[in-house]
């Protein structure tokens, strides 16, 4: 029996997938603005944020409609609740992309401090985590979601490494401080992006298994 609610839920998933794709592009563009010193890319990210905000509102509207019409229960209910929590996480990833783009605009007016080594890798990993978290949501794959959660420590380690390296620059030469701080803020944003992906993944585990795994991480976790 084809359930009517099935179509609605597929539609909701599709909308989140679209939003995730848009957010991912924003993030990629922001990273390009930094690594390739591309002002146009940075401006595009800042201008594009309105569209993401609109998407978030669209997701909310869709969710309210679905609850009113279909009164979802059990897994359907968890899916709707999960979607409602994922959308703000995605929106925040886009906000981090904007933060990164803003720092890029500052950095691009000055000579490069140092060649990028860890940052592009960190950006790739954080971005992949978001993508994988959303794929896990769409596929209802708790194992994949748990793998994303496990990657968060790697991103945290990179963040730590970047922090230490930039600290040595700042200690050696105070004139590097503004640029080093801008880079630090970028690294911080990327670290937060990975945190958002972790949030999403925890929600996916709840969706699939009905178990809440938030706030279970040993010391060193966020929150």
44 is a site residue for another protein (CB under 8 A): no
Question: Could you tell me which of 88, 91, 83 has the C-alpha nearest to residue 15?
Answer: 83
Among 14, 51, 120, 210, binds another protein (CB under 8 A): 210
Task: Report the distance separating Cα 148 and Cα 130, nearest Å.
Answer: 8
| Neighbouring C-beta atoms of residue 42, cutoff 10 Å | 26
Minimum CB–partner distance for residue 71 and another protein (Å):
6
Rounded to 5, what percent of the chain is helix, strand, coil?
85, 0, 15
Shortest separation between residue 210's beta carbon and another protein, angstroms = 3
Give residues 57-116 in contact with another protein (rule: CB under 8 A). Answer: 71-78
# of chain residues touching another protein (CB under 8 A):
14
What are the backbone angles phi and psi of residue 2, rounded to the nearest 5°? -80, 120
Q: With CB under 8 A as the contact rule, which of the stretches 27-35, 53-61, 140-148, 205-213 interacts with another protein?
A: 205-213
The distance of closest approach from Cβ of residue 83 to another protein in the complex, given in angstroms and rounded to an integer, is 15
Which CB sits closer to another protein, 80 or 136? 80
- Quote the least distance from Cβ 208 to another protein, whole Å: 10
Residue whose CB is less far from another protein, 12 or 130: 12
Q: Among 7, 14, 20, 24, which Cα is nearest to 72's?
A: 7
Q: Which of 195, 193, 201 is nearest to 220 (CA)?
A: 195
Work out whether 50 is an interface residue with another protein (CB under 8 A).
no
What angle separates helix 4-35 from helix 118-139, to the nearest 10 degrees? 180
Tally DSSP H helices, then E strands, for the chain. Answer: 6, 0
CB of 82 to another protein, least distance (A): 11
13 lies in the site for another protein, by CB under 8 A? no
Query: Contact positions toward another protein, by CB under 8 A?
Result: 1, 3, 5, 71-78, 206, 210-211
């Amino acid at each position: 029996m084809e359930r009517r609610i099935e179509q609605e839920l597929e539609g909701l998933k599709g909308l989140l997938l679209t939003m995730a794709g848009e957010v991912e592009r924003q993030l990629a563009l922001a990273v390009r603005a930094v690594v390739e010193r591309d002002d146009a890319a940075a401006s595009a990210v800042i201008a594009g944020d309105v569209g993401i905000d609109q998407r978030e509102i669209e997701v909310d509207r869709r969710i309210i409609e679905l609850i009113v019409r279909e009164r979802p229960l059990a897994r359907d209910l968890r899916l709707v609740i999960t979607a409602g929590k994922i959308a703000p996480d995605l929106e925040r990833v886009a906000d981090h992309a904007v933060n990164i783009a803003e720092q890029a605009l500052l950095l691009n007016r000055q000579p490069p401090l140092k060649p990028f080594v860890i940052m592009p890798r960190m950006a790739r990993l954080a971005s992949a985590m978001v993508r994988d978290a959303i794929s896990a949501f769409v596929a209802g794959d708790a194992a994949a979601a748990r793998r994303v959660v496990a990657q968060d420590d790697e991103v945290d380690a990179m963040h730590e490494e970047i922090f230490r390296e930039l600290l040595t620059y700042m200690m050696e030469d105070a004139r590097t401080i503004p640029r080093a701080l801008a880079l630090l803020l970028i690294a911080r944003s990327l670290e937060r992006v990975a945190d958002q992906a972790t949030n999403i993944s925890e929600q996916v585990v709840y969706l699939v298994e009905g178990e809440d795994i938030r706030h279970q991480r040993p010391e060193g976790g966020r929150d």
